[in-house]
């Protein structure tokens, strides 16, 4: 719980939906997304910009939302892992990471998907090295990364075809 009791009225736009909120000004974005907005796909791991579990897109750019103030996100487009899904249809990245066995405990997966999505938005044919660099801000303790890289490669091929 924050010690700062000053409240700021603001509106956050998350996955295309506007959420009017009254927040303490020192609240980080990841906590607000999980608690006030109610989207718990975004995870909080290290809370110190190290693990990438809290990665979301801000105007299409990946950021560690644990280290970003919610008030700074006002007026920007925030995309969380919940925003990847299209109705009942999983995003190709979600389908392919499951198919490749790239999800074990799953804690890193939402952040990993957001970094992969940002990578594929700027580069539709990434090399393996480019994928590994694109995901270098996301730590995974379970998979050894190879299956996640395979999933991103498969998604790139699928999206190009």
Enumerate helices (H) and strands (E) in the chain, giving the number of each: 5, 5
Cβ at position 126, least distance to ligand FES in Å: 20
**3-state secondary structure at position 7:** strand
Output 71 or 139, the one with its CB closest to ligand FES: 139
* Footprint on this chain of ligand FES (rule: CB under 6 A): 44-47, 49-54, 64, 66, 103-108, 140-143
**What is the sign of the dihedral through the CA atoms of 65, 70, 76 and 78?**
positive
Output 122 or 141, the one with its CB closest to ligand FES: 141
Tokens (6 digits) for 12: 């956050």
Backbone angles phi, psi at 139, to 5 degrees: -95, 140
Cβ at position 6, least distance to ligand FES in Å: 24
* Residue 42 C-alpha from the chain's centroid: 6
Judge contact between 45 and 54, C-beta under 8 A.
yes
Output 10 or 56, the one with its CB closest to ligand FES: 56
Cβ at position 91, least distance to ligand FES in Å: 17
Cβ at position 87, least distance to ligand FES in Å: 26
Output 7 or 49, the one with its CB closest to ligand FES: 49
């Amino acid at each position: 719980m924050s010690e700062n009791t000053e409240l700021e009225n603001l509106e956050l736009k998350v996955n295309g939906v506007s959420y009017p909120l009254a927040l303490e000004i020192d609240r980080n974005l990841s906590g607000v997304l999980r608690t006030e907005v109610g989207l718990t796909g975004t995870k909080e791991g290290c809370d110190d910009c190290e693990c990438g579990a809290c990665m979301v897109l801000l105007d299409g750019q990946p950021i560690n939302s644990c280290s970003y103030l919610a008030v700074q996100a006002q007026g920007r487009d925030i995309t969380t892992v919940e925003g990847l899904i299209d109705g009942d249809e999983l995003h190709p990245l979600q389908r392919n990471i499951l198919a490749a066995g790239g999800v074990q405990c799953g804690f890193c997966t939402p952040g990993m998907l957001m970094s992969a999505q940002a990578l594929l938005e700027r580069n539709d044919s990434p090399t393996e090295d480019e994928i590994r660099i694109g995901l270098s801000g996301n730590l995974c303790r379970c998979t050894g990364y190879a299956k996640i890289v395979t999933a991103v490669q498969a998604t790139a091929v699928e999206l190009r075809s």
